[in-house]
Amino acid sequence: MTSPTDPGTETPETPEAIRHQVRVEYRIYLVIVAVVSLIVGGIMGIYLFRGGREAIRVETVQQALSPELDIASMTSVPPTNDLDVVISVYVSGAVNSAEVVTLAQGSLVMDAIAAVGGASPDANLDAINLASPLRDHEHILVPKIAETGAVQSVAVLLNINTATVTELETLPYIGPSRAQQIVTYRESNGSYQNKEDIMQVPGIGTVIYEEIAPFITVDVN
């Protein structure tokens, strides 16, 4: 005969009961995770929404204060102006005041002559190219004309058979190197027979010759 169960004794759970309890606890866990996720997501959404509104408000205020964007002010290097670049040239000869003047880059020979007070009444302006662009440290020599209209050789023309290096440097486009080459060629090959012979010197072609021709001669007297 089976004895009745002792009320103080705990009845062991069956495997089915244990599985049921695990499923219930897992469902409760999922519900808790879902609720927490919703709460966190809601808080983040409110924060992002408020931040976006503040960003839009700041951008709107900036546009109202500065409707046009100044691109030039954003560059680190200011735009250059050719007028800010200057050159120095020496103007002498048939001018009102022989002196060194400073002009903007791109200026012409006529600008240099005007800067020294203009040409004198006896200036032979037809002998020079007034539209020629100036170079830095250039010497502009304005020739004179005699009453007959001829260029005054005594006051202006430079004898390339006797001129020194320093004197030759006063010619347009003739620097120390070319002046020395003119003298060296003369010493090696004898006197120049005519002005065109100077084009035999290395570095002196037709263009340079046309610039210096009004100021040179081969006369020995």
Strand pairing of 86-93 and 99-104? antiparallel
pTM recorded for the entire structure: 0.35
Q: Which tokens hold the place of 67? A: 């409707």
Q: What is the DSSP string of 77-119?
A: SPPP-GGG-EEEEEEEESBSS-EEEEEETT-BHHHHHHHTT-B
pLDDT (0 to 100) of residue 114 = 94
pLDDT (0 to 100) of residue 70 = 44
pLDDT (0 to 100) of residue 68 = 45
CA distances from 6 to 1, 3, 14, 17 (A): 15, 9, 19, 21
Domain boundaries, the chain: 15-70, 82-217
pLDDT (0 to 100) of residue 196 = 93
Q: What is the CATH superfamily name and number for domain 82-217? A: AF1531-like domain (1.10.150.280)
Q: Which tokens hold the place of 196? A: 């065109």
Q: Which residues of the chain have pLDDT under 50?
A: 1-3, 5, 61, 64-80, 82, 147-155
Residue with structure tokens 């003298």? Answer: 183
